């Protein structure tokens, strides 16, 4: 079984379009959406949830109203102003430091495990998919990404799958590192702009640091062929193979609006380019 992650130094480069296309081209696979902060692979794959699980991470204070003596000490002590005048904890503001639970004279405050999101195992028209949703203002997306990866691998092993196709987290922080760890191949999707080049180089550095082989796709290359050439030259210089170039085509957006991958949508040159990229990657 091989794990392939599609990443980009920033959002909006077409990472999910590529992942969706690979999902429809690969045989016998599991999809994993690790972009848990702004998941959108489900818009293309329209998963039907089979299993739903809570994601617990970190602690939040909880006040037992029956025991509370309304002394106000916790409210004054909390430097995050997370406790209001009715002695109710705002879970978004609470940082889980636990100080209030130590100073409460009545022992009314307990630190409780926080439900910070959900993760799912679903079926799609292309096979199983593991995905997640992080709660609003919740942190620890790296931990949730690791959980999605672990579960996707388990589903793949159980079903004897050949591939795990991962929509990685954007950027270069903890979630992208969690998306990358232990994969066989990273595919970096970039666009022909100066910031596209800069962001791609940053994320390639991360792959190099973790010794993950990486290849690059230049998406919408024909919008700026000079810059596309510069990206190619940079990749050559640092020993990163160019997996392929994909032209700009408005049918990509039309397909998304229609809830389809570009492979399913219409026979277009862009579809052929992505098919060629997949064949190269598969080989």
Contact set with ligand SF4 (CB under 6 A): 61, 63, 68-74, 78, 80, 82-83, 87, 89, 94-100, 104-106, 108-109
At closest approach, how far in Å is the CB of 155 from ligand SF4? 36
| 59 vs 242, beta carbon nearer ligand SF4 | 59
Tokens representing 31?
A: 């999809």
String of DSSP letters for 114-159: EEEEEEEEEEETTEEEEEEEEPTT---HHHHHHHHHHHHHHHHHHT
Report d(CA 242, CA 230) in Å as an integer: 12
| 70 vs 150, beta carbon nearer ligand SF4 | 70
At closest approach, how far in Å is the CB of 84 from ligand SF4? 10
String of DSSP letters for 184-249: SEEEEEE-SSHHHHHHHHHHHHHHHHTT--EEEEEETGGG-HHHHHHHHHHHHHTT--EEEEE---
At closest approach, how far in Å is the CB of 143 from ligand SF4? 19
| 88 vs 236, beta carbon nearer ligand SF4 | 88
| 46 vs 69, beta carbon nearer ligand SF4 | 69
At closest approach, how far in Å is the CB of 268 from ligand SF4? 53
| 45 vs 89, beta carbon nearer ligand SF4 | 89
If you compute the radius of gyration of the chain from its CA atoms, what whole number of angstroms results?
22
At closest approach, how far in Å is the CB of 78 from ligand SF4? 3
Tokens representing 36?
A: 């848990």
């Amino acid at each position: 079984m091989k794990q392939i992650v599609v990443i980009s130094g920033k959002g909006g480069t077409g990472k999910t379009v590529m992942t969706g296309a690979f999902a429809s081209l690969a045989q016998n696979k599991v999809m994993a959406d690790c972009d848990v902060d702004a998941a959108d692979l489900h818009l293309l794959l329209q998963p039907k949830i089979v299993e739903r699980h809570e994601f617990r991470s970190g602690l939040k204070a909880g006040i037992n109203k029956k025991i509370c003596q309304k002394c106000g000490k916790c409210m004054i002590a909390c430097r995050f102003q997370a406790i209001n005048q009715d002695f109710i904890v705002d879970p978004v503001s609470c940082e889980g430091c636990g100080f209030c639970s130590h100073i409460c004279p009545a022992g009314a405050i307990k630190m409780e495990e926080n439900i910070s999101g959900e993760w799912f195992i679903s079926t799609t028209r292309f096979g199983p998919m593991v995905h997640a949703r992080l709660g609003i203002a919740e942190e620890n997306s790296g931990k949730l990404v690791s959980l999605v990866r672990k579960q996707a691998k388990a589903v793949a092993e159980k079903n004897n799958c050949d591939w795990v196709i991962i929509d990685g987290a954007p950027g270069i922080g903890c979630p992208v590192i969690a998306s990358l760890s232990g994969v066989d191949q990273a595919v970096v999707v970039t666009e022909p702009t100066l910031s596209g080049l800069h962001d791609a180089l940053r994320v390639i550095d991360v792959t190099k640091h973790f010794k993950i082989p990486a290849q690059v796709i230049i998406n919408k290359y024909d919008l700026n062929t000079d810059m596309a050439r510069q990206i190619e030259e940079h990749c050559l210089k640092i020993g990163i193979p160019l997996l392929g170039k994909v032209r700009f085509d408005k049918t990509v957006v039309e397909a998304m609006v229609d809830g389809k991958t570009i492979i399913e949508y219409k026979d277009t040159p862009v579809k052929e380019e992505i098919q060629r990229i997949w064949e190269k990657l598969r080989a």
